Amino acid sequence: MLLFLLAFACTNSDDDSSSTETDTVSAAVVGVNPDNFADGALATDITTVDCTLSNGTETQCYSITITGEPANHEIGPFCPSNISEGAESAGKWIESGTLYDLDGDFILALAEFYSDETWQLYEESTGDVNVTTTQEACEGAAKPDVEEQYQNHCVECALEYLADTTYTLEIPVTPTLASSANAIDTRGKIGVALSGVVFDPPAPTDAILAAHTIAAFDDCGGHVNPNTGYHYHAATGCSTEVEQDEHAPLIGYAMDGFGLYANAAEGGSEPTDLDDCRGHSDAVLGYHYHVAQAGENQFITCFSGEVVEAEDGGPPQ
Ligand SMILES: [Zn+2]
Ligand SMILES: [Zn+2]
C-alpha cells in the first residue's frame, strides 16, 4: 500500500498545486459495503471473522454466504433442444472475445466454425440437439475428462442437482494493495456479484472443446457446475448494479475486497488507464477494477490486493 501511495504521490508532484488532491486520493480506500447486495442474495447476514492474507497478514475478513441463486434474474435457458430454435430459446457461447447466441444455426455451423468435421451436436434426421438432460448426464459431461458417451453434447446442468447451493467467501474488510499483483488461483473465485452469484476464473474452454462439447452459458453469462453451483463467466449486464455518478456501475467485489465495476459506463467505453489486473484508482472509488467485456472469458487478470488463500474447489468448470 505504502509503495503504491508513494508512487502515486510522485507522479502527481510535478504540479505543486496538486498536493491537496493527492491527499484526497490517498485517503480513498473503499471496500465491501454489505448494504450493496441485492435482497435475497445472501443466505445469512455478513459476519466478521479472523483471516490470514496471502502475505501472512492476520486481519479481519467479511464472511459472505450467498444463496447461490441469482437474486434478480432466472437461470437459463442454456442449450437449444432443436436446430430450428432461435436465440430466445437458448443461451450463449464464447470464443475469441466474442459472445455468440447459441441458437440452432450456431449448433448447425459448429464443424465449420471450428474447422473440425468431428463436431455433430445434433441428430441429422430430426434436428434434435444432444443435450445433457439428466443429473447423470450432467455429471458425466461437466468435468475435465468428459465421458465418451457425452462427447458431442451441449452440456447443461440444473441447480436442483445440488443438495446445497450456498457458498461462503472470505473477503478482507479493508482491502490492501499488494507489493506485487497476486495471480488468480483457478481453483478459487474471482469475486462475488451483488446478485449473490460467484464470478469464476476463466472456463477451461480448451478442454471443453477438445471433447466436442459446449458448456453452454445463459444470457447472463452463467452456468451450473454440479459441484459448485451457478456461477458467472461473463458480465452481460443482468446482475444487480449500483449506479455511480459518471462512472460504470458497481457489480460486485473481488476476493481482495476492491470493487468490481462494469466494463464501461452506459454508452461509454472501457477506461484507458487500467493496470495489468484491470484496475485503476480515483478519489471517490479508490482502487477498483473494471471487468473485461463479455466474451473474453475472464473478469480481471490478477489481484492487485492481498487475498485469503483460495480453498481448493476442484478444477474450474
Ligand atoms: Zn473506474
Ligand atoms: Zn463454469
Mean pLDDT over 208-218 rounds to 97
**Cα–Cα dist 30/284, whole Å:** 8
Strand ranges, E, within 6-131: 47-52, 58-66, 92-95, 98-101
Note whether residue 81 is domain-resident.
no
Angle formed at CA 138 by CA 92 and CA 98, multiple of 5 degrees: 15
Whole-number Å distance, alpha carbon 42 to ligand 2 midpoint, is: 21
274, pLDDT greater than 80: yes
Residue with the bigger pLDDT between 288 and 145: it is: 288
- Same domain membership, residue 186 and residue 106: no
- Same domain membership, residue 184 and residue 119: no
What integer pLDDT is reported at residue 64 of this predicted model? 98
Whole-number Å distance, alpha carbon 222 to ligand 2 midpoint, is: 7
**pLDDT band, residue 305 (cuts 50/70/90):** very high
Whole-number Å distance, alpha carbon 71 to ligand 1 midpoint, is: 25
Q: What is the pLDDT of residues 13-32, one digit of tens each?
A: 334 444 444 444 455 789 99
Mean pLDDT over 182-198 rounds to 95
- Same domain membership, residue 215 and residue 185: no
User: Looking at the CA of 278, which ligand is closest?
Assistant: 1
Report pTM. 0.90
- Same domain membership, residue 189 and residue 124: no
User: Looking at the CA of 203, which ligand is closest?
Assistant: 2
Whole-number Å distance, alpha carbon 290 to ligand 1 midpoint, is: 6
Note whether residue 158 is domain-resident.
yes
Note whether residue 32 is domain-resident.
yes
Whole-number Å distance, alpha carbon 233 to ligand 2 midpoint, is: 6
- Same domain membership, residue 133 and residue 276: no
80, pLDDT greater than 70: yes
Angle (deg, nearest 10), helices 2-12 and 19-27: 160
Whole-number Å distance, alpha carbon 265 to ligand 1 midpoint, is: 9
Note whether residue 210 is domain-resident.
yes
**pLDDT band, residue 312 (cuts 50/70/90):** low
166, pLDDT greater than 90: yes
Whole-number Å distance, alpha carbon 78 to ligand 1 midpoint, is: 32
Mean pLDDT over 151-175 rounds to 97
What integer pLDDT is reported at residue 200 of this predicted model? 97
Domain boundary pick from 176, 191, 220: 220
Mean pLDDT over 178-189 rounds to 94
Domain boundary pick from 153, 185, 220: 220
What integer pLDDT is reported at residue 20 of this predicted model? 41
Q: Which domain holds residue 132?
A: 87-162+204-220
Query: Which of 187, 173, 196 is closest to 258 using CA atoms?
Result: 173
Neighbours of ion ligand 2 (CB under 5 A): 203, 317
Whole-number Å distance, alpha carbon 52 to ligand 1 midpoint, is: 28
Q: What is the pLDDT of residues 121-151, one digit of tens each?
A: 999 999 999 999 999 999 999 988 899 999 9
Whole-number Å distance, alpha carbon 176 to ligand 2 midpoint, is: 28
Whole-number Å distance, alpha carbon 289 to ligand 1 midpoint, is: 7
Which of 170-174, 184-188, 229-233 shows the lowest per-residue confidence on average (mean pLDDT)?
A: 184-188
Whole-number Å distance, alpha carbon 280 to ligand 1 midpoint, is: 6
CA distances from 83 to 106, 109, 257, 289 (A): 8, 10, 43, 39
- Same domain membership, residue 93 and residue 193: no
Rounded (10°) CA dihedral 290, 295, 301, 305: 40
What integer pLDDT is reported at residue 144 of this predicted model? 84
Mean pLDDT over 228-234 rounds to 97
- Same domain membership, residue 284 and residue 214: no
Whole-number Å distance, alpha carbon 27 to ligand 1 midpoint, is: 16
Whole-number Å distance, alpha carbon 88 to ligand 2 midpoint, is: 21
177, pLDDT greater than 80: yes
Mean pLDDT over 208-222 rounds to 97
Whole-number Å distance, alpha carbon 253 to ligand 1 midpoint, is: 13
- Same domain membership, residue 59 and residue 7: yes
**Cα–Cα dist 70/67, whole Å:** 8
**pLDDT band, residue 242 (cuts 50/70/90):** very high
- Same domain membership, residue 172 and residue 108: no
Note whether residue 227 is domain-resident.
no
Mean pLDDT over 93-100 rounds to 97
252, pLDDT greater than 80: yes
- Same domain membership, residue 177 and residue 120: no
- Same domain membership, residue 181 and residue 254: yes
Mean pLDDT of the chain, nearest integer = 91
**pLDDT band, residue 260 (cuts 50/70/90):** very high
Mean pLDDT over 295-313 rounds to 90
Whole-number Å distance, alpha carbon 281 to ligand 1 midpoint, is: 7
Percentage above 90 pLDDT, the chain: 85
What integer pLDDT is reported at residue 317 of this predicted model? 64
Whole-number Å distance, alpha carbon 175 to ligand 1 midpoint, is: 16
- Same domain membership, residue 260 and residue 197: yes
Contact 303, 171 (CB under 8 A): no
Q: Report how many domains make up the chain.
A: 2
Note whether residue 128 is domain-resident.
yes
